[in-house]
Structure 1
């Protein structure tokens, strides 16, 4: 995003509360409104890239609303190193600002769901019964910030829909792709998504291509029963009507944040975590879309059924081959969006908590998948990527390229955005 909104978009340092004050705050607004964002994605049946954009907008808005008030507070205490955003009040309830900011984003984007959002807003504000004047000031500020985020993203390249036509050439994605515009979406936190453009898939006649072709042909074959692979595939499937692949990482953060001391009671730290994660998800969408559009590569099912056209003697055609996923996939294959989201999110979470080895459990959106437990963020990211091979909708080279791009996106955001300070120093 080229325009500036509050502090988030310029990489200015985050203002933090003293430990005693931070410990007195609850993080429920962040969790509650992210749950609403997840439910919105499910209800509206958003695609993965649209979902990532939504999660980024909701969490950027909450961060800017909360942090703007804290900067104004510190400024009022003669901490002149900080420059508050225009109009940020220092005597305002930060929780009220957070819920109002998220409400403004969601209700502006999906006005047909306003009754749900209005009800949650009313419930949250009613629970803030101390100093009603500050609650109201916080609500007004949060609403203003949320609307600014909506306005600034109104022409960010995510619409109108753009279709990339299909192609019948060997190695080309055959169907029309109707979300090609996301390759041009303005980034939330990185400078230029093209920096993370993949080097591309291996040549069709190469040994590297044949190796990954034959792997996915075996592991993704629906005719070969495998309970473990079925469980992993179903857990991470995240199809239409789900929270989509970026939503799985929002769910992981929701599972972890209340259990970790640094985010258990601190609103400031929690909005920072989710804003970093949201920006990484949004920018991963643009990065993956650029690679998909650039290389326009065929999905494995198409590759297997048309292997007689790839010029590679180490691949064998099977016109009746059926993949575990059931459908070929609705976008060009390279790179894997799920892997890009996983690489970015696992990097953000591990860096935020200064530890990759954080154990957690969460439940997949697929009703038959149940819950799974992981010993680290990187373990979950690796499984999410491999799930796409078990589904037979991606090759391993696209998994690895996506994971690498996602990690790069996350590192740039961590190095340049929402940098922590102590009272502005």
Structure 2
């Protein structure tokens, strides 16, 4: 968070005024706008899922890009858990929150702490959401103590994350944190930009998204580079030639080898900044499969706090890799740069008419954010559940973006399938190299294992 007091006061006043207008508040379970409605059984509604749904809707409605969405998810989920855990006292606290007041309602404290941190990250006061939530609880000392304690914990987390290296825009604040590559692999924007039809497409852009997000202070890692991937291929190597040819054939707009199922996968997992985003998608999947596992309120809060922190750190890892290695996207390589690679393989040749199947994102390729988010989310979910063998099905959470997905449901026989399918979707879409996916899957799993082993252990 990098906002001075004058900016904060001015923005908060503006958002307070805005929040009084129709359509500026989020909707609850049961509505078409709620992400929980399609995936959650009515009897499984709870305070944790309620608040996570609220911030997911904010990500969609504010069109928050994936790395910033991951950042925004973490602090509210962690703050809510810490406030409730301080009252119940089941898990260790790494942030010296201290013991909560005896007799305070932990669910009230969770919601207030969550909303306090979310208000800072989203620059949205959540007035309707706060009041509606508090009105669910009977007045009394437990409620009053919970409100006071929740706000105290929420503000402590906000203060803890102030000056953590984050900035909620593409401002110049982010520039200059990584040196640029000076050879043919150097990332540059390519235009015009394309997308599958019907569906969204990126407009022109002059520079990369969030150049410096990898320098943000992590939640569970020692630094953004703790699990940095090995270097990218030498562009003159046979390995690069194989991947160049693979993506040229598989990921093109009019590919002759991509199957209908692979085309559907590319759109299903696209998750651009018009909806839930990849980190939100895997948190949604976690809520879907955790709902029948018999977790009580605090264990549910802990699971979502771990997921939120891990997705944030996945974004930091991926963006550290992206701007440290500064690697070109397939679109630029195939359309413009192929001859500069000095690769002896004749398959590494320019095709100025080549178009990717889905829109090419506006930042470097290596490693894949999608694959990092997916591997981290699914590895952590597997650790929480104690098994990978979970069968479930799922519809696209934002079908309005890709009308061809309406009514389409995908089925998986285990959790790992979702992570791999999500990562491979970027190859089918023509926006990533195979090594982007492979390296990111390895890093994401490492991030999740590290978080599970070290964050919020049960008290002895």
Superposition TM-score, scaled by structure 1 size = 0.85
Higher helix share: 1
Q: What residue number does 1:43 align with?
A: 61
- The within-5 A match list for 1:98-113 is 98-111=110-123, 113=124
Deviations 1:181-201 (A, max 9, x none): 211100111222312111121
Task: State the partner residue of 1:291.
Answer: 321
2:202 paired residue number:
none
Contact 1:166 1:177 in 2 (8 A): no
Q: Does 1 or 2 have the higher relative contact order (CA < 8 Å, sep 6+)?
A: 1
Within the candidate set 235, 238, 245, 2:271 is matched to 238
User: Does residue 449 of structure 2 align to residue 418 of structure 1?
Assistant: no
Write the mapping of 1:58-69 to structure 2, written as runs, cut at 5 A: 58-69=76-87
Contact 1:98 1:142 in 2 (8 A): yes
Q: Would the aligned equivalents of 1:356 and 1:376 in 2 still touch at CA under 8 Å?
A: yes
Residue in structure 2 matched with residue 381 of structure 1 by the alignment: 419
Partner of 1:163 in structure 2? 175
Cα distance in 2 for residues equivalent to 1:366 and 1:335? 27
Indicate yes or no: 2:362 matched with 1:333: no
Could you tell me which of 205, 208, 212 is aligned with 1:181? 212
Superposition TM-score, scaled by structure 2 size: 0.79
Identify the residue that residue 431 of structure 2 maps to in structure 1.
393
Shift of 1:169: 4.2
Q: Tell me the residue number matched to 2:245.
A: 214
Give the gaps of 5 or more residues in structure 1: 2-24
Q: Does 1:317 align with 2:337?
A: no
Quote how far apart the aligned CAs of 1:86 are.
3.3
Instruction: Return closer, same or farther for 1:324/1:86 CA change in 2, 3 Å cut-off.
Output: same
Distance 2:223 2:255 in 1: 43
Q: CA RMSD in A?
A: 2.5
Aligned pairs (5 A) from 1:9-408: 28-71=46-89, 85-86=97-98, 88-111=100-123, 113-114=124-125, 117-129=126-138, 132-159=140-167, 161-163=173-175, 169-175=183-189, 176-224=207-255, 226-261=259-294, 263=295, 266-305=296-335, 306-314=337-345, 315-325=348-358, 327-364=359-396, 365-367=398-400, 368=403, 369=405, 370-408=408-446
- d(CA) in 2 for partners of 1:344 and 1:108? 25
Specify the alignment match of 2:33 in structure 1: none
Distance in 2, Cα, partners of 1:179 & 1:83: 28
* Distance of aligned partners of 1:110 and 1:280 in 2 relative to their CA distance in 1, 3 Å threshold: closer
TM superposition shift of 1:143: 1.5
> 1: CA distance between counterparts of 2:102 and 2:390?
36
Cα shift at 1:102: 1.4
CA deviations over 1:37-89 (Å, ceiling 9, x no partner): 11111111111111001111111011101101112xx79xxxx9999833621
Counterparts of 1:82 and 1:216, CA distance in 2: 44
Q: 174-183 or 340-349: which moved more?
A: 174-183
